[in-house]
Structure 1
Amino acid sequence: MALETAPKGEAPDDKAAREQKAIRELENRLADAYAQDRSPAEVGVAVQSAHSRFAGSTVRDFVPILVERAVRRELEPEEGFETAEVIVSAGGAQAPTEKIATGATAPGLPGRVRSLATDRRSLFVLAGAGMVAAGAAAWAVTRPDAEPVQAAAPVSGAPLTTVSGVVGSEKAAFFDDRRVAEIFAAHGFDVRVKTAGSREISTSIDLDGQAFAFPSSLPAAEKLKREVGVRTQFTPFYSPMAIATFTPIVELLDAAGAVKYDGPAPTLDFSAYIDMVQRGVQWDELAGNTSYPVAKNILVSTTDARTSNSAAMYLAVASYVVNDHAVVRGATAEQHVLPTLQRLFLAQGYTEGSSAGPFEEYLTAGMGATPMTWIYEAQYVSAAVAGRLRPEMVLLYPSPTVLSRHTVVPLTPEGEQVGALLHNDPDLQALAAEHGFRTGDAARFDEVVTEHDVPVTADLVDVVDVPAFETLEHLLDGVAGAY
């Protein structure tokens, strides 16, 4: 493939778009070329991994060509192939011809080629004769005293094993992350997922052909384990439940005596909130309300209790508060709390089946549509990392809250290996923290929220237990029956 040099004066955004288009075309072309031996996902991982190695280059014209050469060398390795790191200086005399790769030479290549390893699995980046003008960058344009660019992590040359799973929608972005795919590929897996509500995963989704299921709570996982007859599970990360709201809403609730400021983030007194719901208080009835004078009931927006785990977690907190701050146990307690629980859900009107929808509406539609949205803390942190939060957006913790423990239920040996990787691999754990999840690596999560200035409560104290599996099912069925 020959890529035209960008016209003089072309805007950086236009150059970037041209390059991305060329990379997409390259990925499609190579996927077709290697269709008999390599999956499209494997080719895609190789292309994106090679492309990422040029992130620091300032001269971009030949990057797609270099990426193609690197990927072809990776997908068609030769015995004795020697990987190399190419560092090109921003100027200076031409280096003498150096021997690189499998005996090919690159006369006049600026800079130097330093042998790193003989591992045929490593990515190789090469600039051929006449392809790079003096001073152009292959991996990076550096000062003579600059640190060398580090070699990429090994990517297996063997065909990847496809492993399919069903996950809660709040984890879709994590599995879509190219870096996550690369780590799985390095272990020989092409992990492909589809999303569903966590309660759907444990009750109604056809799991035939799936290697693992990854609902967002222990109760959903326990139900699934009973249904499919497995005992193994992994809980690689967790997330407290929280409320996504806005500064004017927090100020109104504070004036009404329902908000406390005991830490970095405000907390909602759930008892005071339930009291307002039971009395049918509307927003425009709050004293001094000029910021949100809307004639609708004070309600937190949730997902559908019939399908979604986040709604089940909301139900768990509400049932605890309504049951005089005690975990619901037994038929009498269930009947006592059900009328309020039904009101909390039915008064909302239409609710979506998974947590991604309501949170996206919060991010895009603003305060008018959803003044308070029940979410996983991870969703808010992930949005902050992605730069999608506006200054008036606030993370509000319910007091009490519950922890949603995201649990992998393996259905095949390959699914068990994926679950073990999610639980044990430090790089996957670190990436989970970047997507907002709390993991065993608490320090990494702290780094993420500190770097992106997300006010989270690090040590949550007022956390309650979820009702027993059977009780939670009874309560969810009781709410579902009222729809």
Structure 2
Amino acid sequence: MAISRRAFGVGLLAASAAATGGYIYLRGHPEIAGRMGESRRLFGFAGGEKEGFLANARVRNLLERRFGLVLDARRAGSVEMVRERALLDQKPQFLWPSSSVLVEVARSSGVKISRDQVIFNSPIVLYSWDRIADGLVKAGFAESAGGPRYTVDLLKLLKAIVAGQSWADIGVSDLFGRARVVSTDPNRSNSGFMFAGLVASVLSGDLVMIDTLGRVDGDVATVFRRMGFKPPSSGKLFDDYVTGGVGAQPLIVGYENQLVEWVLQDAERWKRVEANAPAKPVILYPRPTVFSAHPLISINREADDLIDALMNESVLELAWEDHGFRGPLGTIGKARNALLQSRLLDRVDAVLPMPDAPVMLALLDRLAA
């Protein structure tokens, strides 16, 4: 029986509507698309502090099996990936730096952003050793927060460093030379970038603005000059800290999750450190600090689904359980690890916002000069 043109047209329109509706539905439910179709490979850059998470077999399997996504995520400094043409000209589909300010820096670099979403949070902390922390407590620079964890008066510590005080002056008599805290290179790596913004705000007495930056940028430069060599990545600096020991790296800047991840990688190694090491790693929470938000920047629509996948509760719990990343609201996950229970603060309340992008870019230029 022949089909009329009208009936054929109606059928074609219905099929088109069904296909469009199916596409929209699958875009809203990437976990179903992942199960039904072939995996999609996405290329982008991510900060080194997320390298362990992105290499985690459980994470990779979950992203591919449930969401149909395979990531080719290459390591790059958070500041570099949003500013350097050599990286942006490689046409990444996503960028995953470690500060929300860098979303605006990316826009100022001409990056066409489809979506952006904070996935993880990790407060900026100081890493030191138990006997150094105890010395800082006795000298009035830090306080015990119960167990092997501490808070530190950041303004008081920074003023001592700017003034050129010795380690002995701040309660640590067995270290040589002037007191210092070491971060990564702020023009390359996010932890140094964020610490620079935090130092500028703390020294200015409030969130630093473009019209107040000139009052403190010299002192900020002094803090960074006293550091000496500044590694290009947070992972490298943390590795230097745990392998170099008290004399080599007495006080460094890092992310809270780095010690968590290091402990979880090898629980037996950590137990040996706790039992036998002459000095034990400790976290000092600066008062105030800044939260390092980790925004996923989707540059084209194909990478939009990656945001939805990473915001899935199962993925976020893996990020906490295996790597110590707090969720988007800065809260810790459901799982509690006995090895770390007494070392982390459940809540970090003394938090400053980061200065805005024009202020940070001006500060980076001053520190690079």
Shorter-chain TM band? 0.7 to 0.9
Deviation at 1:407, TM superposition (A): 0.4
Unaligned 5+ segments in structure 1 are: 1-153
Q: Is 1:217 aligned with 2:138?
A: no
Measure the CA separation in 2 of the matches of 1:244 and 1:372: 6
- With over 3 angstroms needed to count, the CA separation of the structure-2 counterparts of 1:178 and 1:288, relative to structure 1, is closer
**Quick one: which amino acid aligns to residue 242 of structure 2?**
L
**Quick one: which amino acid aligns to residue 298 of structure 2?**
P
- With over 3 angstroms needed to count, the CA separation of the structure-2 counterparts of 1:239 and 1:230, relative to structure 1, is same
Measure the CA separation in 2 of the matches of 1:306 and 1:364: 25
Q: Is 1:295 aligned with 2:192?
A: no
Corresponding residue number in structure 1 for 2:246: 367
Measure the CA separation in 2 of the matches of 1:327 and 1:442: 20
Q: Is 1:480 aligned with 2:362?
A: no
Larger CA Rg, structure 1 vs 2? 1
Question: How many residues are treated as equivalent by the alignment?
Answer: 322
- Alpha-carbon RMSD: 2.2
Measure the CA separation in 2 of the matches of 1:320 and 1:372: 20
Return the TM-score normalized by structure 2: 0.82
Q: Is 1:282 aligned with 2:161?
A: no
Measure the CA separation in 2 of the matches of 1:359 and 1:462: 24
Q: Is 1:330 aligned with 2:210?
A: yes
Measure the CA separation in 1 of the matches of 2:263 and 2:197: 27
Query: Is the CA contact 2:137–2:144 (under 8 Å) kept in the aligned structure 1?
Result: no
Measure the CA separation in 2 of the matches of 1:444 and 1:288: 33
Q: Is 1:248 aligned with 2:131?
A: yes
Deviation at 1:446, TM superposition (A): 5.0
- With over 3 angstroms needed to count, the CA separation of the structure-2 counterparts of 1:444 and 1:362, relative to structure 1, is same
Greater alpha carbon shift after TM alignment, 184-193 vs 219-228: 219-228
Measure the CA separation in 1 of the matches of 2:218 and 2:330: 39
Deviation at 1:384, TM superposition (A): 2.0
User: Please, which of 328, 331, 344 is the counterpart of residue 456 of structure 1?
Assistant: 344
Deviation at 1:288, TM superposition (A): 7.3
Corresponding residue number in structure 2 for 1:169: 48
Q: Is 1:432 aligned with 2:319?
A: yes
Residues 65-464 of structure 1: pairs in structure 2 closer than 5 A: 156=35, 159-186=38-65, 187-204=67-84, 205-207=86-88, 208-226=90-108, 227-230=110-113, 232-262=115-145, 265-286=149-170, 289=173, 293-323=174-204, 325-331=205-211, 333-386=212-265, 387=267, 389=270, 390-391=273-274, 392-423=280-311, 425-434=312-321, 435-440=323-328, 445=333, 447-450=335-338, 452-464=340-352
Query: Is the CA contact 2:132–2:250 (under 8 Å) kept in the aligned structure 1?
Result: yes
Measure the CA separation in 2 of the matches of 1:436 and 1:305: 23
Identical columns (%): 25
- With over 3 angstroms needed to count, the CA separation of the structure-2 counterparts of 1:454 and 1:181, relative to structure 1, is farther
**Quick one: which amino acid aligns to residue 196 of structure 1?**
A
Measure the CA separation in 1 of the matches of 2:125 and 2:232: 18
Measure the CA separation in 1 of the matches of 2:292 and 2:179: 24
Measure the CA separation in 1 of the matches of 2:305 and 2:34: 18
**Quick one: which amino acid aligns to residue 216 of structure 1?**
S
- With over 3 angstroms needed to count, the CA separation of the structure-2 counterparts of 1:454 and 1:161, relative to structure 1, is farther
Measure the CA separation in 2 of the matches of 1:249 and 1:281: 15
Deviation at 1:348, TM superposition (A): 1.5
Deviation at 1:449, TM superposition (A): 4.5
SS at match of 1:240: strand
**Quick one: which amino acid aligns to residue 426 of structure 1?**
E
SS at match of 1:461: coil
- With over 3 angstroms needed to count, the CA separation of the structure-2 counterparts of 1:279 and 1:200, relative to structure 1, is same
Query: Is the CA contact 1:449–1:455 (under 8 Å) kept in the aligned structure 2?
Result: no
Measure the CA separation in 2 of the matches of 1:156 and 1:231: 25
Deviation at 1:225, TM superposition (A): 3.1
More helix by share: 2
Query: Is the CA contact 1:165–1:212 (under 8 Å) kept in the aligned structure 2?
Result: yes
Greater alpha carbon shift after TM alignment, 211-220 vs 444-453: 444-453
SS at match of 2:247: coil
Query: Is the CA contact 1:225–1:231 (under 8 Å) kept in the aligned structure 2?
Result: no
- With over 3 angstroms needed to count, the CA separation of the structure-2 counterparts of 1:284 and 1:407, relative to structure 1, is same
Measure the CA separation in 1 of the matches of 2:301 and 2:318: 24
SS at match of 2:124: strand
SS at match of 2:126: strand
For 1:55-110, what per-residue CA distance to the aligned partner results, in whole angstroms no more than 9, with x for missing partners? xxxxxxxxxxxxxxxxxxxxxxxxxxxxxxxxxxxxxxxxxxxxxxxxxxxxxxxx
Measure the CA separation in 2 of the matches of 1:444 and 1:248: 28
